[in-house]
């Protein structure tokens, strides 16, 4: 297949480009490059050609000839959404719907969208399924819900969108994010030999390795159209629902001499436990290859290999909010988040 992957300069995108290429697909990237300053380690080949463009400025001519679009490029977490909710709606909601509309207009039959389990927001201990009511608590999560709704409405005999609600990602990527929970705790364990949770760590968080996300997208692209047409899938493994404190415990066990302390406050009200049965039922070849412990071990090996220093862990480009605040402060992007 000839695939356009948006967000190829990001944490998941750089791995997605390499993964799909290894599956024999021809891959072109598209990314505005907000975090391109950061590259943690070598060994992953970025896609050869990336269109350097904002998704809001994409035109039909950028999309000619693709069989499928994998859409990852958005402001990728809750704190970014809080930084500027208006821009979050413009990029994540309107930008994504604009992209899907153009894909449909030029006749691209498949559109696979990176949604998020954060649409479930606040749950009880019950497992959320794709049929559960959504409860988005932030602008970021609300945009995911609105994109699913509006792009789903475009589905017809010639345009098949699929919505993959990914669990919280972890794992190694040259464009690593240290603002996702397992990677963040691993960075603390490596640089400080200490994980000091200020919260009580009770909220539930389903986790999924970045390569298992890549596998899910690949399985969807290769599945018969009828199986994935206008479907929503949670992406992960039901066994990989952890309380934050459990994730911290696993990381502290993997990183030698790491001390874990747990706080008492209860600051984060996002908590959801998710069932991943549907993706396993509908796409039986899909099977997660990773779990949290293996992911922490992988990060330990990467940090060891590059002798990672505290400055690297703290580098702005590896924390999405810090990097965007930096680009704004030095005037590299304007108030609409376009490069000046
Ligand atoms: N990482 C996770 O835990 C997770 C979980 C669920 C869903 N997702 C979704 O997966 C996608 C990728 O996540 P990630 O962790 O790789 O994020 P990321 O921030 O590392 O990557 C996003 C990429 O998109 C690009 N981008 C952002 N806005 C753009 C715009 N307007 N035009 C063009 N490019 C733009 C950025 O430059 C960046 O390279 C996002 O849509 C995110 O919401 C991520």
pLDDT per position as a tens digit, 220-269? 999 999 999 999 999 999 999 999 999 999 999 999 999 999 998 766 66
Percentage of the residues of the chain whose pLDDT score is greater than 90: 91
Whether ligand 1 lies within 6 angstroms of the CB of 320 is answered as yes
DSSP, collapsed to helix, strand or coil, labels residue 9 as coil
Whether ligand 1 lies within 6 angstroms of the CB of 9 is answered as yes
The pLDDT value given to residue 267 = 65
Domain boundaries, position 96? 2-176+207-241+272-291+320-329
Whether ligand 1 lies within 6 angstroms of the CB of 85 is answered as no
The pLDDT value given to residue 35 = 97
110 belongs to a structural domain: yes
Chain segment 117-169, per-residue pLDDT in tens: 999 987 767 899 999 999 998 999 999 999 999 999 999 999 999 999 999 99
**Ligand 1 centroid – CA 261 distance (Å):** 31
- Which pair of structure tokens corresponds to residue 191? 């640089």
Query: Residue 121: which region, alpha, beta or left (left: phi > 0; alpha: psi -120 to 50)?
Result: left
Chain segment 61-99, per-residue pLDDT in tens: 999 999 999 999 999 887 777 788 899 999 999 999 999
Q: Which residues contact 31 (CB under 8 A, 6 or more apart)?
A: 6, 7, 8, 9, 10, 13, 50, 51, 52, 53, 73
Interatomic CA distance for residues 212 and 193, integer angstroms = 28
Whether ligand 1 lies within 6 angstroms of the CB of 12 is answered as yes
Closest residue to atom 17 of ligand 1, CA basis: 76
81 belongs to a structural domain: yes
37 belongs to a structural domain: yes
61 belongs to a structural domain: yes
213 belongs to a structural domain: yes
Q: Is the dihedral of CA 197, 198, 202, 203 positive or negative?
A: negative
Buried b (16+ CB within 10 A) or exposed e, 15-44: bbbbbbbebebbbbbbbbebbeebbbeeeb
Closest residue to atom 12 of ligand 1, CA basis: 72
Whether ligand 1 lies within 6 angstroms of the CB of 120 is answered as no
Q: Give the CATH number, domain containing residue 70.
A: 3.40.50.720
Whether ligand 1 lies within 6 angstroms of the CB of 180 is answered as yes
Whether ligand 1 lies within 6 angstroms of the CB of 207 is answered as no
**Ligand 1 centroid – CA 161 distance (Å):** 18
- Ligand 1 atom closest to the Cα of residue 12 is 16
309 belongs to a structural domain: no
182 belongs to a structural domain: no
For 257-308, the DSSP string reads T-EEEEEEE-----EEEE--HHHHHHSTT------HHHHHHHHHHHHHHHT-
128 belongs to a structural domain: yes
Query: Residue 24: which region, alpha, beta or left (left: phi > 0; alpha: psi -120 to 50)?
Result: left
- Which pTM does this prediction carry? 0.98
Estimate to the nearest angstrom the gap between the alpha carbon of 252 and the chain centroid.
24
Domains held by the chain: number: 1
Chain segment 282-296, per-residue pLDDT in tens: 999 999 999 999 999
Interatomic CA distance for residues 76 and 71, integer angstroms = 12
Which one of 71, 74, 326 would you pick to mutate in the ligand 1 pocket, going by the greatest count of ligand atoms within 8 A of its CB? 74
**Ligand 1 centroid – CA 95 distance (Å):** 13
């Amino acid at each position: 297949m000839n695939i356009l992957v948006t967000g190829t300069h990001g944490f998941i995108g750089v791995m997605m480009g390499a993964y799909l290429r290894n599956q024999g697909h021809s891959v072109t990237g598209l990314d505005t490059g907000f975090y391109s300053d950061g590259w943690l380690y070598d060994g992953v080949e970025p896609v050869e050609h990336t269109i350097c463009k904002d998704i809001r400025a994409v035109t039909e001519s950028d999309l000619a000839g693709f069989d499928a679009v994998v859409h990852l490029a958005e402001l990728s977490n809750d704190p970014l959404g809080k930084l500027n909710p208006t821009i979050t709606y413009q990029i994540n909601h309107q930008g994504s719907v604009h992209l899907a509309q153009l894909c449909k207009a030029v006749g691209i039959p498949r559109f696979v969208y990176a949604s998020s389990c954060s649409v479930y927001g606040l749950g009880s201990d019950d497992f959320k399924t794709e049929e559960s009511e959504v409860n988005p608590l932030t602008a970021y999560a609300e945009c995911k819900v609105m994109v699913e709704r509006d792009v789903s409405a475009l589905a017809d005999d010639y345009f098949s969108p699929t919505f993959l609600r990914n669990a919280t990602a972890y794992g190694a990527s040259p464009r690593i994010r240290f603002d996702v929970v397992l990677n963040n705790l691993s960075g603390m364990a490596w640089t400080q030999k200490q994980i000091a949770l200020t919260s009580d760590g009770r909220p539930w968080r389903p986790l999924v390795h970045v390569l298992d996300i890549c596998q899910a997208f690949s399985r969807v692209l290769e599945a018969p159209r009828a199986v994935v047409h206008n479907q929503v899938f949670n992406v992960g493994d039901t066994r990989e629902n952890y309380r934050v404190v459990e994730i911290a415990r696993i990381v502290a066990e993997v990183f030698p001499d790491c001390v874990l302390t747990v706080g008492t406050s209860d600051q984060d009200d996002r908590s959801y436990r998710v069932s991943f049965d549907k993706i396993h039922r509908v796409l039986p070849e899909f099977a997660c290859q990773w779990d949290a412990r293996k992911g922490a071990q992988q990060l330990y090996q990467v940090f060891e290999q590059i002798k990672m220093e505290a400055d690297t862990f703290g580098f702005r480009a590896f924390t999405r909010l810090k990097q965007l605040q930096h680009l704004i402060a030095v005037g590299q992007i304007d108030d609409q988040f376009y490069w000046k």
